[in-house]
Amino acid sequence: MPTQRTPFLFQAGTSPAGVAFGAKHAEGIFVSAPSPHILAPRIKAIREEAAKLGRDPKSVKVFAILTPIVGRTDEEAQAKYREALEYASEEAGLAFFSGGSGIDLSRFDLDTPITPSDVHVDARVHSTINTLSYQSPDVPEWTPRNIGKHISIGGAGPVPVGSASTVADFLEEWVRVADLDGFNIGYVQTPGTFEDVVELLVPELRRRGVYAPLGESGTMRERVYGPGQRRLRDDHVGKKYGYEVYDGH
């Protein structure tokens, strides 16, 4: 098996600093938001910055966190979701959000909407602060109670619930709206969530021609960029630091 030498370079975050760093160094970027409309301008900024640096903007691959709950039918998936909610803790969700964002939600009434003006941004996660300014029917009102409920199941990303066809429609809509390249799969159960993805969702995505066919092999970088691209692309800043070595047996 050929090696790719330099590991595939992932980065996470869409703050101004994260965008600048990722556009220069990353091959893949992890992002998170409850709506593709929140991600769309952030991904656009990443690609524009990459282009300014002489990179192909589409060579920076962007992956959103997502926790799918997949069933053989929509009804089966909804039953799985209801069962998951029985074990979820809104308080734990609030603690997780506060710890990851630097925002102490215990200072707020559970049902009072929070806006960026309520939060001091020093030393906080800026992309999280910006998310609080987004208001739309596709996300709940930003109250601590709603945040805790959502975070307790899906973390910072969406939780699509349904049959393989329903969830596949959801994924394709996110890709279209946000200009995503893929998803980072979260889980409610392990290995249950991943088994459902592999056994139910992946075949549906393959049927639609949006998932790699069976038998595809190669290095991580080749699976992203295509066969033969085992090393950093020529337009990547790290390429100039490489040197050729004997590549024989």
Percent of the chain with pLDDT over 90: 65
Residues across the chain: 249
pLDDT band at 244 (very low <50, low <70, confident <90, very high): low
Written as one letter, the residue type at 192 is G
The answer to the question of residue 247 being in a domain is no
Q: Does residue 249 fall inside a structural domain?
A: no
Residue 117 is assigned to a structural domain of this protein: yes
Residue-level pLDDT at 29: 98
Q: What is the CATH number of the domain that holds 129?
A: 3.20.20.30
Is 3 inside a domain boundary?
no
4 assigned to some structural domain: no
Smallest CA-to-CA distance from 4 within 246, 228, 215 is with: 228
Q: Does position 127 have pLDDT exceeding 80, yes or no?
A: no
pLDDT tens figures, 169-207: 999 999 999 999 999 999 999 999 999 999 999 999 999
- Name the CA radius of gyration of the chain, rounded: 20
Residue 207: predicted pLDDT: 97
Residues 6+ apart with CB under 8 A from 87: none
Give percent above pLDDT 70 in the chain. Answer: 92
- Concatenate the DSSP letters of all residues of 161-181 into one string: EEEHHHHHHHHHHHHHHHT--
The pLDDT value recorded for residue 142 is 85
Per DSSP, 82 falls in state: H
How high is the pLDDT of residue 125?
A: 58
Query: pTM score, two decimals?
Result: 0.88
What pLDDT is attached to residue 247? 55
Output the CA angle 185-189-195, nearest 5 degrees. Answer: 65
pLDDT at 102: 78
Using DSSP, state whether 12 is helix, strand or coil.
Answer: strand
CB contact at 8 A, 20 and 49: yes
- Higher per-residue confidence, 124 vs 26: 26
- Total domains present in the chain: 1
Cross-strand partners of 69: 161
In a domain, 111, yes or no: yes
The amino acid that residue 148 corresponds to is G
Domain, as residue range, for 208: 10-242
Per the domain annotation, does 2 fall within a domain? Answer: no
Q: Measuring CA to CA, which residue among 134, 133, 140, 144 is closest to residue 108?
A: 144
**Domain-embedded: residue 40:** yes
The whole-number average pLDDT for the span 92-109 is 86
Of the spans 89-93, 99-103, 127-131, 245-249, which averages the highest pLDDT?
89-93
**Tokens encoding 224:** 């992203």
